[in-house]
Amino acid sequence: MTDVPPLLTTADGRPLKAALASAQGRARRKAFYLVAPLLLFVVFSFILPIGQMLHRSIYHDGFSSTAPNLSAWFAANPSGTEPDEAAFAALAADLAEMKKNKTAGEAATRINYTVSATRSLFTATARKADKLQPPFKEALLAEDAKWGEPVIWQAMRAASNPYTTDFYLIATDRARGADGGIEQVPENERIYLWLFGKTFILSGLITFICLILAFPIAHLLATLPMAKSNLLMILVLLPFWTSLLVRTTSWIVLLQGQGVVNNILVSLGMIGEDGRITMIYNQTGTIIVMTHILLPFMVLPLYSVMRTIKPSYARAARSLGATSWTTFRRIYLPQTLPGIGAGALLVFILAVGYYITPALVGGADGQLISNLIQFHMSKSNWSLAAALSGMLLVGVLLLYWLYDRLVGIDKLKLG
């Protein structure tokens, strides 16, 4: 005989379990309401825009919405079908419609993204579209022989679906060939992948230089007496509070051919008047200026971690017979790892997306991928800009994941 134990109840007779659940639910709701403003802010200012950007990189309805007849023909006929009279008739009908609605430019822009010098083909033909007579194939080819080119038909087929990989193809230096296959663009037009690689390598280099420079400063800051370390801290923070543009242009004044540094070197006789060193408007300039601008982002996390390291550990190691190098390597350095990780991640991610500084001091070989993203934004090819940004985002997330696997994100310490 097993008796069912009597249900535990609260003073007013409600089951204890239910009462507990409702009390916890209340607390959870309260907590949720407290974070709700931040959550909404993050959703609206961060998640939605990034989602929209990623969507834009795979979606463009400039052609599909303005050329419904041709889109229908492409849907009905599989890839590889020779464009027949029906296809040309659909094209002619769409061109006439474009002329009426003034949408030829919109459609042309979409095709022009993938095949250069086609915009004028569309706008010029659309202007005369209502005079076209059947047979349309002959009529269109007589208008412009380019209408017979397979590359253009492939581009129109790809654009007839608003969802497209075209922009990611361009962003990886690839293009759709005449047979619909994907091929690399001519060597003298390949730029994006190379620039991605360069952006990551340069950012890595800048992060490394920042680490080498920041480590002793942070150590000094953490170990000096309060009065002196405060002064030093102000020196670290002062440039941090100065406008980015001012700092960049100050570097131009210092480093340019007729600048302060070169003038001093010449007046000291270390270099001749003709031997002035080129330190700016090139890759060197980008590295110098970005290192200076990003240095505080390395110093601050390092400092906050180093301050918590007790000097007694190092003393204990020395008293047990370790050399100063061993003490540094085995005792001090491992304890600063969370700071190194945080600083490196911060500097690297900021460097990857930097654009004002390379734009101003980068010259020919010091520009980064962000400069091209900005270029396409200003040339109103937002989809390509979005695709390039998407690739940058994936690259950064990959590195973040790698960092998590190698070091562990829980070890990150920002302050």
Taking the CA atoms of 240, 243, 246 and 252 in sequence, report the sign of the dihedral they define: positive
Exposure string for 28-45, b = 16+ CB within 10 A, e = fewer: eeeeeeeeeeeeeeeeee
C-beta closer to another protein: residue 125 or 381: 381
User: Tokens 């619909």 correspond to what residue?
Assistant: 180
Among 158, 376, 388, 391, binds another protein (CB under 8 A): 376
Among 32, 41, 163, 194, binds another protein (CB under 8 A): 194
Residue 317 C-beta: closest distance to another protein, Å: 49
Per-residue tokens: 391: 């690739």
Stretch binding another protein (CB under 8 A), from 39-47, 136-144, 379-387, 389-397: 379-387
> Hey, which residues between 337 and 366 contact another protein (CB under 8 A)?
359-360, 363-365
> Hey, which residues between 50 and 89 contact another protein (CB under 8 A)?
62
C-beta closer to another protein: residue 25 or 257: 257
What radius of gyration do the chain's Cα atoms show?
A: 31
C-beta closer to another protein: residue 129 or 360: 360
Residue 246 C-beta: closest distance to another protein, Å: 15
Among 119, 137, 176, 292, binds another protein (CB under 8 A): 119
Residue 355 C-beta: closest distance to another protein, Å: 11
Per-residue tokens: 155: 């581009």
Burial status of residue 204 (CB atoms within 10 A of its CB: 0-12, 13-18, 19 or more): middle
Among 206, 293, 384, 412, binds another protein (CB under 8 A): 384
| CA pair distance 110, 102, nearest whole angstrom | 15
C-beta closer to another protein: residue 4 or 364: 364
Residue 191 C-beta: closest distance to another protein, Å: 4
CA distances to 25, 36, 39, 185 from 32, in Å: 10, 6, 9, 52
Stretch binding another protein (CB under 8 A), from 20-28, 32-40, 86-94, 380-388: 380-388
Determine the size of the site formed for another protein (CB under 8 A): 44
Stretch binding another protein (CB under 8 A), from 11-19, 190-198, 225-233, 304-312: 190-198
**Residue 375 in contact with another protein, rule: CB under 8 A:** yes
For residues 104 and 60, the answer to whether their CB atoms sit within 8 Å is: no
Burial status of residue 267 (CB atoms within 10 A of its CB: 0-12, 13-18, 19 or more): exposed
Q: Is 164 helix (H, G, I), strand (E, B) or coil?
A: coil
User: Tokens 């003490």 correspond to what residue?
Assistant: 327
> Hey, which residues between 221 and 280 contact another protein (CB under 8 A)?
256-259
C-beta closer to another protein: residue 73 or 166: 166
**Residue 290 in contact with another protein, rule: CB under 8 A:** no
Residue 371 C-beta: closest distance to another protein, Å: 9
| CA pair distance 197, 183, nearest whole angstrom | 20
Residue 122 C-beta: closest distance to another protein, Å: 10
**Residue 126 in contact with another protein, rule: CB under 8 A:** no
Q: Is 182 helix (H, G, I), strand (E, B) or coil?
A: strand
| CA pair distance 379, 392, nearest whole angstrom | 20
Closest CA to 361 of 273, 256, 207: 256
Stretch binding another protein (CB under 8 A), from 67-75, 112-120, 209-217, 338-346: 112-120
Question: C-alpha dihedral over 109, 111, 112, 113, to 10 degrees?
Answer: 90
| CA pair distance 102, 347, nearest whole angstrom | 48
Per-position x/- string for 89-108, each x denoting binding to another protein as judged by CB under 8 A, each - no binding: -------------xxxxx-x
Residue 382 C-beta: closest distance to another protein, Å: 8
Instruction: Verify cis geometry, omega within 30 degrees of 0, for the bond prior to 135.
Output: yes
Interface residues with another protein (CB under 8 A) are 62, 102-106, 108-109, 112-113, 116-120, 185, 188-191, 194-195, 198, 256-259, 281, 359-360, 363-365, 367, 372, 375-382, 384
